[in-house]
Structure 1
């Protein structure tokens, strides 16, 4: 297994299912993302850059797209979710909608492509 799979497997329910659901959507959106580490967190990586991490905390789950600009770009869809410059907080009882995760991951992928001067095939 990889860093993300190992991390998710070690979580208790309901955090495990909620976090796994986010990673599933992310992998569907960017199928060539690979498991690795980003800023010390188990993360999906794309073109050697961190794409997305999702971690459990004591009172919430946190999604880290490694880009304040990406969070700002989807802020219209984040009513009811606590967020900061680099984190979107949610719970298993109030998960992030799949379409919001898709937007976040797509925007981050596009940001990485632009920063590396590459385009998707």
Structure 2
């Protein structure tokens, strides 16, 4: 078991489903990233912080940093997702926008790999 497994074990239902789906996407697109807990959140690291996820009351937060949010901000607005400078709210009563998350993770991986 990893620290992320321990974090996920605290959740069930749609929160857990969303976090499991996000983990699968991140792991598939960033196979060299390591899993950790940072600021109490599941975190994937690749030459520094790649992306974080965290459960909230009605959503799962995806935290790709300011550059990551800016990369997809227009599409987030068009699709009606709430977001701020470094955080995207993925409501648990809506499907995860897999295509958008995949593009975002791919963007962040390229950013972090360029740091090497």
The corresponding residue for 1:77 is 75
Give the match for residue 111 of structure 2. Answer: 111
Q: As a proportion of its length, which structure holds more helix?
A: 2
Conserved? CA contact 2:43–2:50, under 8 Å: yes
Indicate if the aligned counterparts of 1:37 and 1:45 stay in contact, CA closer than 8 A.
no
Distance 2:7 2:40 in 1: 12
Q: CA deviation at 1:74?
A: 1.0
Q: TM-score, normalised by structure 1?
A: 0.84
TM-score, normalisation: structure 2: 0.88
Rounded to whole Å, the distance in 1 between the matches of 2:30 and 2:6 is 20
Whole-Å separation in 2 of the counterparts to 1:85 and 1:57: 17
- Show the counterpart of 1:90: 90
Offset, 1:106: 1.1
- Distance (whole Å) between structure 1 residues aligned to residue 43 and residue 71 of structure 2: 21
Unaligned runs of 5+ in 2: none
Q: How many residues align?
A: 114
Q: Alpha-carbon deviation of 1:76?
A: 2.8
In the TM superposition, residue 55 of structure 1 has moved relative to its aligned partner by 0.8
Q: After TM superposition, what 4+ stretches of structure 1 lie above 6 angstroms from structure 2?
A: none
Residue number in structure 1 paired with 2:57: 58
Question: Displacement of 1:27 after TM fit?
Answer: 0.7
Per-residue deviation, residues 65-116 of structure 1 (Å, max 9, x unmatched): 1x211111112321210000010001222133111111111111111122x2
Matches of 1:69 and 1:30 in 2, distance apart? 17
